[in-house]
Amino acid sequence: MKRTKVCLALILASIVLLSARPGPARPDRPAGRGGALALVRIPKTATLPLGTLVRLGIDVRQDLATCLLALADRDDMTMLRRSGIRFSVLDRNAPRPEYLLVETGLPGALDSLRAAGRAVAVEAGTAVFWTERGSAAAEVPAGLPSKVLPARSVLPYLRSRPAAAAAAPVAAVQDPLVESIVSLVSSSSLAADVQTLQDLQTRYASTTNCESAGDSLYASFSALGLDDVHFESFTFSSGYTSRNVVAEKTGESFPGDFYIICAHYDSTSPSATRQTLAPGADDNASGAAAVLGAARALAGYPLDYSVRFVAFSAEEWGLWGSRAYADAARARGERILGVINLDMIAYANAVPEDLQIIVNDSSAWLADLFAIAGAQYGVVTTARMIDPSIIYSDHSPFWDNGYPALLAIEDYPLNNPYYHQTTDTLDRLNLDFFTAAARGATGLLAGLAQPIRDGYPAAPARLTAAWETYRSLFNTLAAVNLEWDAQADAAGYNVYRTTTSHLGYVKVNDEPIVGTSFSDTGAVSGGEYYYVLTAVGPTGLESNRSRENAWRSAAAVPAAAASSGRTIRPAGPRGIR
Amino acid sequence: MRARRAAAFLAGLALGLAAAAAAPAQELSVSLAGGVFSPSSSAYRGIYGSGAVLAGDVWLKLHGPVGLAVGFSRLSDKGFAVAGDGGQETYPLEFRRTSVPVVAFYQIKVGPAALRLGAGVGLHSYRETWTTADLEYKGHKAAPRLMLAAAVKVAGRLSIFGQACCESIRTGRGTSLDVNVNVGGVQVLGGLSFRIF
C-alpha cells in the first residue's frame, strides 16, 4: 500500500514536471498559440506594415532586400491574410534543426544545392536550404557561402526608415595620433600572421587544427597586455563545438560602450580536402591578421571607448560563432556601437583594388567613416554597398541583433579564383592592398574608440537632450535643450550637431559655452539630430567627443517655426546662442 | 507699415469729413481716452493677460440723433511664450494692435449725459514680436465693432467721456494654443471729450 502511494506520488510529480517544461522553442512569441509551424516568405513592399507584423507577433527570422522569412503557425497565417499581408509557404514542416540561407548567385549553384537537399529560392541569389535529417550545414556544396537562420526574431530591429543617404565625401582633418597608431600596422607582421595560420594546413571548424588556430590567436592577443583575453565556446550544427577568441581593451571614459573589430579564423576548401588542407590565406587569415594588427597598434594607447578584438570560428559552417556571440551580447544587453568585420581583404584581382564596404541602412554611417579612414590612413579606396541580402559573413548576426556592422571585403561578388580552394595561400595575396585595407580598418577603429591625449580635457561623460517648444499666438519656437555635467578640467564646452549619425558634425555655438546647458534652436521639429559635446580646456585644447546623443522629434510643429537663420536668445539665465 | 496705418487713418478721416460735408453737421466733437482691453481668446489671456489701450475719436452728429465716429486706437501688451515639452527658458513677447474704427451711432440725450450706441467696422493691424528671438508675425483684418459710449458735460464744451467696445477679430492664423486666434475682446475706456461745435 505504501509502495503504491509512493508510485502514485512519483507519477503525479512526473506529470507536473512534464507539464511545466517549456514547449518547442518559439522565442519572442506569446504563449498559448498553436498549430503546425511553417517557414513563410513575406514579400517586402513599399506598404508592408512592419507595425502590423509586430502587433501580430510574427516570428520574423531574416530580413532580406526583397522579403522577410518568418516562422508562422496557422493562427499567424490567418492573421496575415486578414491583415492583407501576402505570403507564401516555403516549408510546411518547420522548424527544422537547421535552415540555412545559401548564396546561389553563381551559375548552377541552386541546382547543386537541390542535389544536396531541399532548396527554395527566396530572391535572386538567395535560397533557403534544409535537409530531412542530419546537419544541413555539412551538406552545403563547397564554395557556396551560407548562414544559419537566426534563432530568434529579428523583428524588434527592423525599422521603417528611408534608405540611407547617398555616400558623400566628407572632409576631415587627419589626426596625427591616429596616424601614428595606424603606422604600427605593418605588412611584414600581417604576412607573418597569415603565414602562421596558413601553416596549420586546415582551420576547418570541427578539426583540431582549427582549435590550434584559436590557441595561436589567444596566445598572440595575450602577449599584447590587453585587459582581457578569453575563449567563448559554442556548439554548432548538431553537436560540434568550437571557440571564439575574444580580447578586450577596456575604455577609460565609456567602458560599457564597445566597438568591435572581428574576423573569422576558420577556413574551408572542397569537401574532399577540407579536413586536411584548407590554407585560407585570403579567406580569412587576412581578416584575422588584420584584427591582430589592429590589436597590436592600439594596445599601447588609452582609449575612451572599449574595443573588442574577436576572432570567430565556424563561419564557414554558417556563421555559428558570430551568431553565438551576437545573440549572447544582445541577451546581456551589451552596448555595441559598431562592428567592423573583415573577411577576405588581401586578394587584388586588379590594381589598384578597392575595398567593398557592405552595410545595411542602419550601418551606412560606418561605411562612410571607413571611406574617410581608408582615404586618410590606409590609402585605400572603398565602395559602399547597402544590401541587407549580403548576409554571408560575420557582420550578419550583428544586424540580426540590431547592432550596426559592416563587412569589408575585396570584391562582391567575389573575384578570387582561389576562394575556398587549397591554393588560397599567402603568395596569391597583394600585400600592399592588404596593408592598406588593414590600416584603413585600424584607422576607423582608432577614430571611433578615441585615443586619449595627454594634457587634453577628458571627454564629457554625460549629455542629455530634450525637446522643448515655446508657443506664442502665431509662432512656435522649437529647441533641443542639452544638459551635461560640469567637469573640473573644462573652461567651456562646444556642442556639435549632425543629421547623420557620426558624420558631418557642425559646431552650433559661436564661443565655448560657459555653463552646463545649451538650447539649440537650429533643430527643426520632425527631424532626427545627433549631438556630441566636447570640453575646452583653459588653454583652448579641445577634448574628444562625448557619446553621441540621438534625438528624434515626435511630431512636426507648424511651419511658422521652421524658418532658419534665426537668432535666438532666451531671456532666462540658461543657454545662450 | 506705418504709412499703411496712416493711410487707413486718413481714409477714415476723409470718410468722416466727406460725410460731414455731404450733410449739414449738427455737432462735431473729439475724444481722447485710455483704458483696458480684456481679450476674448483664452490663449491670448494666457500669454498677455489684459492690455492697455489708448484711443482717440472724432464724433460727428449728422442727422438728428444719428452720427458717425472715426477713430484710432493702439493696444500694447507684453507677455511670455508658453513653454511645452518641459521647456524652462523664458521668451518675452510683445503684441501691438493698431485699429481704425468707423462706427455709425445713435445718440440719446439723458439729462446732461449723451448716450451713444453704435456699430461699425474696425480696420486692424497687429504684430506679435519675440523680443529675444528673430520671430515675428504681422497681420491685418477688418472686423465688426459694437460700441457704447457716454459723455457727461462738466464745463463748457468739455465732457467726461466713457466708452466700451466689443470686437471679434478672428485672424485665421495661430498655433496649437489656438488654431484661429481672436485678437479681439472688450475694451473699456475713460477720458475727456471736447465739443468743437
pLDDT tens per residue, range B30-87? 999 999 999 999 999 999 999 999 999 999 988 889 999 999 999 999 999 998 767 7
DSSP state of B22: H
**Alpha carbon distance B54, B68 (integer Å):** 20
**Which pairing describes strands A305-312 and A355-359: parallel, antiparallel, or unpaired?**
unpaired
Q: Residue B155: which domain range?
A: 2-195
Domains of chain A are: 33-157 (no CATH), 176-449 (3.40.630.10), 463-561 (2.60.40.10)
Sequential DSSP letters for A534-577: EEE-TTS-B------EEEE-SSPPPGGG---S--B--SSSS---
Q: Which residues make Cβ contacts (< 8 Å) with residue A475, sequence separation at least 6?
A: A560, A561, B128, B130, B135, B136, B137, B175
pLDDT at A572: 40
| Residues 132-191 in B contacting A (C-alpha not used; CB under 8 Å) | 132-137, 139, 171, 173-178, 181, 183
Domain count, chain B: 1
Q: Cβ of B197 under 8 Å from any chain A Cβ?
A: no
Q: With CB atoms and an 8 Å threshold, state whether B90 touches A570.
A: yes
Q: With CB atoms and an 8 Å threshold, state whether B95 touches A570.
A: no
Distance from CA of A568 to the nearest CA of B (A): 4
| Residues 481-500 in A contacting B (C-alpha not used; CB under 8 Å) | 481
Distance from CA of B169 to the nearest CA of A (A): 13
pLDDT at B25: 64
ipTM of this predicted complex? 0.84
The chain B residue lying nearest A573, using CA atoms, is B89
Cβ contacts (< 8 Å) between A470 and chain B: which residues? 81-84, 87, 89, 91
Cell numbers representing residue A253 in the block: 571614459
Cβ contacts (< 8 Å) between B43 and chain A: which residues? 473
CA B3, distance to chain mean position in Å, is: 19
Q: With CB atoms and an 8 Å threshold, state whether B89 touches A469.
A: no
Q: Cβ of B13 under 8 Å from any chain A Cβ?
A: no
Give kind and range of the element (H or E) at residue B74.
strand B66-80
Cell numbers representing residue A208 in the block: 583540431
CATH code for the domain in which residue B160 is found: 2.40.160.20
| Nearest Cβ partner for B176 among A471, A570, A571 | A471
pLDDT at A141: 87
Q: Cβ of A23 under 8 Å from any chain B Cβ?
A: no
| Residues 530-569 in A contacting B (C-alpha not used; CB under 8 Å) | 557-558, 560-561, 563, 565-569
pTM reported for the whole predicted model: 0.77
Local mean pLDDT, 10-residue blocks, chain A (577 residues): 51 45 40 72 86 90 94 93 93 88 92 93 95 85 90 83 58 83 97 98 96 98 97 90 98 97 97 95 98 98 98 96 97 97 96 94 93 88 94 97 97 93 97 97 96 95 86 87 92 93 90 91 76 95 93 50 37 34
Q: What is the mean pLDDT of chain A?
A: 87
Q: With CB atoms and an 8 Å threshold, state whether A571 touches B84.
A: no
Q: Which residues make Cβ contacts (< 8 Å) with residue B55, sequence separation at least 6?
A: B31, B32, B33, B34, B35, B71, B72, B73, B74, B163, B187, B189, B191
pLDDT-flagged residues of chain B (< 70): 1-25, 85
β-bridge mates for residue B128, sequence order = B95, B137
Cell numbers representing residue A78 in the block: 490567418
